[in-house]
Each structure stands twice: as structure tokens, then as C-alpha cells.
């Protein structure tokens, strides 16, 4: 199994609530753009942060935006109050975000997500329209390219949909 999916498996095993967002979500929806990390939206309450700590501690998480790549603290309580965690692990990079551009916080992302199963793992994934909105709001060059790919995926899906009863009645 791809190491990035192993990270997701750990989150699921430790009952971390999350919605998959970003490039991996785009790939699951059908985009062919590569991604090198996992992006998830999580609630940032103390209980969730304790679960994140438990899930990731065995894969040597390090703060990836620190020049010294300091290891994640041994005490879970040191994560309390954090709104984002950007980590590099032995399995790859994961960004755990408290808010998604153009969508909102975890509850908003949850409301705009659907359940999917991949590699035997059931998880929530941001729906296609919300993913397009979030990448549009982020506005980076790579996100603009992602939006174009996701819009093409959406057109293909819509093309393959049977016409609704209203359309076929006329």
C-alpha cells in the first residue's frame, strides 16, 4: 500500500475524525495530477489532537516548516490549541488543517463531504464541487491547474449521467 494511504489508515485506526481534501481527494475523484502529501481537515479540539498524537507518534512526525525539523512533542497536551499541523513523517507528509480555504472549518467540510471506500478504508472525502471551490479559493498556481482538471472530471461525470426525468420528458 502507498505510504500516504498508510498515514490515512493510521488516522482511521486511531479514530481521528477527518475529511480528506487536497490533491489526494482530487485523485480519488479522478484527477491525474500527482500529489506528494496528504491534506485533511480535522476538528482542532483537545480530544482530536490527542488522537492525532497517538496515531502519528510511531511514524516519527516532525514539524516540516521548522528549519530544524523538530520532532512532534511527546506530550499530547502540547498540541492543544494548535489550528494546523504540518508534519513530515517516515511515511510521508501530512497537513492537518483546522480550516479549508473557501469552505470553512471541519463541520463545514464534513457537511460538504461524502463517504468513500478505497483500499478497504472508509473515510470522508470533500465532494467534487467543494473541492473545486477550495482549490479556487486557495488560488495558487498548482491549485488553478487542479481546478481545471477537476472541472474536466466533473464534465465527464455529468456527460455519463443519464438525463433526469425532466430533461427526457421534453
Q: Domains of the chain: which residue ranges?
A: 3-165
pTM above 0.75, yes or no: yes
Query: What pLDDT sits at residue 165?
Result: 66
Residue 40 contacts residue 97 (beta carbons within 8 Å): yes
Query: What pLDDT sits at residue 170?
Result: 47
Reference 28, options 129, 152, 132, 117; nearest CA is 117
What are the pLDDT digits (tens) for 19-54?
Answer: 999 999 999 999 988 889 999 999 999 999 999 999
- Domain 3-165 CATH (choose: 3.30.460.40, 2.60.40.10, 3.40.50.620, 1.10.20.60): 3.30.460.40
Least trusted range by pLDDT, from 4-8, 14-18, 65-69, 78-82: 65-69
Amino acid at each position: 500500500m502507498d505510504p500516504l494511504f498508510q498515514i490515512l489508515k493510521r488516522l482511521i485506526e486511531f479514530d481521528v475524525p477527518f475529511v480528506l481534501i487536497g490533491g489526494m481527494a482530487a485523485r480519488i475523484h479522478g484527477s491525474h495530477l500527482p500529489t506528494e502529501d496528504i491534506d485533511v481537515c480535522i476538528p482542532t479540539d483537545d480530544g482530536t489532537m490527542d488522537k492525532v498524537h497517538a496515531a502519528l507518534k510511531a511514524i516519527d512526525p516532525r514539524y516540516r516548516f521548522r528549519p530544524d525539523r523538530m520532532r512532534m512533542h511527546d506530550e499530547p497536551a502540547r498540541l492543544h490549541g494548535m489550528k494546523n499541523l504540518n508534519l513530515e513523517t517516515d511515511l510521508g507528509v501530512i497537513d492537518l488543517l483546522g480550516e479549508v480555504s473557501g469552505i470553512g472549518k471541519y463541520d463545514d467540510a464534513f457537511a460538504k463531504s461524502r463517504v468513500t471506500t478505497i483500499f478497504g478504508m472508509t473515510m470522508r472525502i470533500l465532494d467534487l464541487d467543494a473541492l473545486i471551490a477550495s482549490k479556487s479559493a486557495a488560488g495558487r498556481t498548482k491549485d488553478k491547474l487542479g481546478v481545471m482538471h477537476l472541472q474536466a472530471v466533473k464534465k465527464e461525470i455529468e456527460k455519463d449521467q443519464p438525463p433526469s426525468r425532466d430533461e427526457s420528458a421534453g
